[in-house]
Amino acid sequence: MLGFQFIKSRATDFVFLYSSGRLAHKGAGLSGVLFAPFATGAVVPTDARDDVFAVEGVSADFQTVTIQGLISHRISDPVAAVKRQDFSVNLANMHHRGEPMKQIAERLKAIAQTAARETLAEATLDDALTKSNELSAAIMAAIRADDGVSTAGVAVERVLVLSIRPAPEIRKALEAGVREQLLRKADSAAFERRRSAANDEHDLKMRNEENAVQLAQVELAHAKSLESEKLSLAEARAQTVRAEAASAAAAERMRLEPWTELSPGVIAALGLKDWASVNSSLTSLTLSGDGLEKIAAALDRK
């Protein structure tokens, strides 16, 4: 109304307000009412930005490599930045008239691409595929060494190399080589497992055989001990039988010794007496001539 306009900015925007070509106000997150016909403004975003870049280069062994990365940056000095870049805005909507942040990002990408190509040209393909940290450091050093970036109040916080890829046909060849190595490792691991299992089985069989031999030796020793005990017992029994027989023979000799002092006739008479005592039903005795003759001969000798 009547040329007055209310403006409002974000907290991360550093605002410059000019009146009749002179700087009237500056600061972060400014808002308020100004007289638009004689006012102009510039807004410098100070928030961090992440921009992705890609570059295609040639390695030292003439292999094409594609590199993708990310640059994190922000405006650290708005006063220096507004002097080097057009950050003027339309006060009606506070939108930039141009694309200053895009221009800064393009400048950073160009520096990063140049540094990446130079670094890549000094390394072979095999080395380049594993040097993402070295590439990041080289790009960061190149950006910080650029006078245009430092004087424009731009601060680069970090550079990340996200991927390093060779040409598709080279990539397939590398993948085939890696796949072959992995298959060989897998085959070697499988062979090692089979060999280990065979060794374990062999060791188990050997232990079983050793246990069987030890068990057989124990059983044999036990059998020998049992046979020795049986032999000792048999010998003891034989000695006992011999001792019993000798004792019985001695007893028999002692029992018969008195009979040696008697004459045959007396012995015969005692025999007849015992026989008659046993056979109480005997009523008669018949002797033959030979018997009587022997008795008479015995009595004559007495």
One-letter amino acid for residue 106 of the chain? E
C-alpha–C-alpha distance, residues 274 and 265, integer Å = 14
Structural domain containing residue 141 = 4-166
Tell me whether residue 267 is in a domain. Answer: no
* Residue 181 within any structural domain of the chain: no
Give the pair of three-digit tokens for residue 236. 């003891």
Q: Whole-angstrom Cα distance, residue 14 to residue 43?
A: 6
pLDDT digits (tens, 9 = 90+) for 123-150: 888 888 888 888 999 999 999 999 889 8
| CA–CA–CA angle 220, 221, 223 (5° rounding) | 60
CATH number, domain with residue 29: 3.30.479.30
pLDDT recorded at residue 279? 59
Evaluate whether residue 237 is within a structural domain.
no
* pTM, two decimal places: 0.56
Q: What is the dihedral of CA 29, 31, 35, 37, to 10 degrees?
A: 50
Asked if the structure places residue 296 within a domain, the reply is no
198 falls within a domain: no
Q: Assess if residue 16 is contained within a domain.
A: yes
3-state secondary structure of 64: strand
Position 76 in a domain: yes
- Min mean pLDDT across 17-31, 52-66, 220-234, 259-273 is at 259-273
Helices 289-301 and 264-278 pack at an angle, to 10 degrees, of: 130
250 lies in some domain: no
Number of domains the chain contains: 1
> Which tens digits make up the pLDDT trace of 197-255?
888 888 888 888 888 888 888 888 888 888 888 888 888 888 888 888 888 888 777 77
